[in-house]
Amino acid sequence: MQRREFLAAGAATMAAVTLAACGGKTKPPLPPGIMTGANDTLGHRLRQRDFPPPTETRRIGVAIAGGGIGGLSAGWRLARSGMDDFLLLDLESETGGNSRAGRNEVSAYPLGAHYLPLPPREARAVKVLLRELGALKGEHEYEEKYLCHAPQERLYRNGYWQDGLLPTLGVPAAERAQYARFQEFIAGLRERRAFTVPLAFSSRDPALLALDKIGFSDWLRSEGYTAPGLHWLTDYACRDDYGTRAFDTSAWAGLHYFACRESEGQVLTAPEGNAWLARGLVQPLTGRVLPSALVWRVEETKREVAIDVYLAAENRSIRLLARELVWAAPLFLLPHVFTAPRPEWLAALKGSDYAPWVVANLTLSAPPGTRAGAGLAWDNVIADSESLGYVVSTHQAMRYAPGPTVLTWYRALHDESAHRSPSRQRRLLQSREAWAEEILADLERPHPEIRELVTRIDVHRHAHAMIRPHPGRLWSGARAAFERNQGRIRFAHADVSGLSLFEEANHRGVKAAEDTLGRLGVSYSSIL
């Protein structure tokens, strides 16, 4: 049967090639779907501060601005300490930030972040959360349901699906020797915990911190790593975790990706991506979350912080007078919101850059076929593509029969910037139809039958998905402006770390909450 399928698929590829050559007249129409994305219109009104003045004043102990993982972690930490005089404000109608999910009749699916590598010993707060969620017993025993099921990943290269992401097929021995040397080097870094996540616990050895000043590709070459496969994998890793190309990524950040965890490759995931983790954080926050609420003006006074919040549903603003503010929204918003942003913040923000992302969910009537090589895995990567490939949302489902599925396709717009002129955001702003066509063209190479299987394509845009660790961004000292004590304001966003990772956001949130508890005189024992 496989050979028959092989032939049919082969015929289909040739058909696709021929059709494309004929101008694609017989292509089926694009499947339906919607385009969603971070609430940008509301966000962009910030520049004008174009909001109605407050009509009501409320007093509150702690305000948390932002409902991503940082803000949720801060709220979660406050709630765990028994503190309940706080309010979390989120611009979106639903909390979770990059970890939000969608759902249709086939499956739940991620709209952004979709996995958490097994946390190393330093990520203590993450482990506390996982134990609460029943996903972790003791230090190392993880619930099977959340551990990524085998096979975890495969790579489509030269017409063949291979196991794992490091290109191995047809790679000369000399290059494979470089792979081995690199892996050994990484194992050594791991052993001495040179890089950790949260990165705050990393070694401060100046020789290591100096790596931040050079590009990752340059570092690889200077160490004699020339194997194209290794350069491909490191570039893929940078696009995947940081939204940057390897040459434009700090070598410290690049090595951090490979060396910060204790074990190789194993990850926790769920059909809805990381939304299950966000759900665990938001659970104790019942009644203390204000959705569709945009903080548009913050003024610090001697005794309190005045926070003007626009309530989109009611089209009016309220003023919160809070004793403490946890700022858990992206840091680039600070100059637009604060009446008197501190000069050192502005200095630290100079040159900061965010990667836009597009995440598309494709609903399929049946799983895509495999012409040659390893069968469908959780993470499926196409080597010579600008996309990051796709994950299969039903991979973790407790079912064995093949059936309809949802594929989540990822594309970091590594060559565009949300902060530069609109002409540099052409791809981000293109229509859903243009994206759908681009996605199908990408997936058509490994899966010529894809157009017949897809019943829906929903596209989700993130204009400022993740901060980029360009060379010099992490250890120049600038970040310290947000780590230091700032009067009544604390920062709880992954931007403070400079890496857009779940563990970093969680760490910053918990840290901000614990510092706030200290200032309020509430006793607590740190979970960091």
Partner 1 sequence: MQRPLLVSVFIVASCGLAYELIAGALASYLLGDSVMQFSTVIGVYLFAMGIGSWLSKYVKGNLLLRFIQIELLVGLLGGLSAGLLFLLFTLHNGPFRFTLYGLVLLIGILVGLEIPLIMRILKREVKFDDLVAKVLSFDYIGALAVSVLFPLLLAPHLGLVRSALLFGLMNAAVAAWALWLFRDRIGPLAALRTQCIAVIALLIAAFGFAGQFVSLAEANLYAEDIVHAESSPYQRIVVTKVRDETRLYLNHNLQFSSRDEYRYHEALVHPGLATLPGARNILVLGGGDGMAVREILKYPQVEHITLVDLDPRMTDLFSRSPLLKTLNADALNSPKLKIVNADALQWLEASDAMFDFVVVDFPDPSNHALGKLYSTAFYRLLKQHVAETGRVVVQATSPMYAREAYWTIVTTLEAAGWQTAPYHALVPSFGEWGYILAGKRPYTAPATIRVATRFITPDALPALFHFPADMARVATEANRLDNQNLVRVFEREWGRVQSH
Cβ partners under 8 Å of residue 15, min gap 6: 448
Kindly tell me which of 149 and 176 has the beta carbon lying closer to partner 1: 149
In degrees, to the nearest 5, what angle opens at C-alpha 127 toward C-alphas 124 and 128? 90
Shortest CB 3 distance to partner 1, Å: 5
Closest CB to partner 1 among 150 and 187?
Answer: 150
- What phi and psi, each to the nearest 5 degrees, are found at residue 402? -70, 140
Identity of the residue, 165 or 326, whose beta carbon is nearer to partner 1 in the bound complex: 165
Closer of 124 and 149 to partner 1 (Cβ): 149
HSE on the CB side for 378, CA within 13 Å?
23
**Sheet of strand 160-163, all strands in order from the earlier edge strand to the far edge:** 35-37, 454-467, 354-364, 405-412, 390-392, 379-382, 153-157, 160-163
Under 8 Å between Cβ of 423 and 381: no
Shortest spacing between CB 191 and partner 1, in angstroms: 24
Question: For 314-327, b where at least 16 C-beta lie within 10 A, e where not — what string?
Answer: eeebbbbebbbbbb
Residue (340 or 401) nearer to partner 1, CB: 401
Query: The dihedral of CA 70, 76, 82, 87: what is its sign?
Result: positive
Q: How far is the CB of 473 from partner 1 (least distance, A)?
A: 35
Nearer to partner 1, 141 or 184 (CB): 141
For the chain, how far is it from start to end, CA to CA, in angstroms? 55
> Minimum Å distance from CB 44 to partner 1?
43
Which lies closer to partner 1 via its Cβ, residue 148 or residue 492?
148
Cβ contact 194:205 at 8 Å: yes
- Shortest Å, Cβ 408 to partner 1: 20
By C-beta, is 277 or 355 nearer to partner 1?
A: 277
Task: Quote the strand ranges of 393-498, DSSP E.
Answer: 405-412, 454-467, 489-491
Which helix (DSSP H) or strand (DSSP E) does residue 229 occupy? Answer: helix 228-242
Rounded least distance, CB 11 to partner 1, Å: 4
Residue among 277 and 282 whose Cβ is closer to partner 1: 277
From the CB of 267, what's the least distance to partner 1, in Å? 9
From CA 257, how far away is CA 278, in angstroms rounded?
22
DSSP 114: -
Question: Alpha-carbon distance 528 to 525, whole Å?
Answer: 9
Structural contact between residues 116 and 268, judged by C-beta atoms closer than 8 angstroms: yes
DSSP code for 338: B
Contact indicator for 510, 517 with CB cutoff of 8 Å = no
Positions that interact with partner 1 (CB under 8 A):
1, 3-4, 6-8, 10-12, 14-15, 18, 144-145, 147-152, 266, 375, 397-403
Judged by beta carbon, residue 105 or residue 184, the one nearer partner 1 is 105
User: Least CB distance from residue 451 to partner 1, whole Å?
Assistant: 15
Least distance to partner 1 from the beta carbon of 7, Å? 6
Q: How far is the CB of 303 from partner 1 (least distance, A)?
A: 54
Shortest distance, CB of residue 396 to partner 1, whole angstroms? 8
96: its two tokens: 């979770």
- Indicate the residue among 43 and 373 with the shorter CB distance to partner 1: 373
Q: Which is nearer to partner 1, 174 or 398 (CB)?
A: 398
Sign of CA dihedral 414, 418, 424, 430: positive
How many whole angstroms from its chain centre is CA 305?
31
Q: How far is the CB of 4 from partner 1 (least distance, A)?
A: 6
Q: What's 261's DSSP letter?
A: S
Query: What is the three-state SS of 17-48?
Result: HHHHHCCCCCCCCCCCCCEEECCHHHHHHHHH
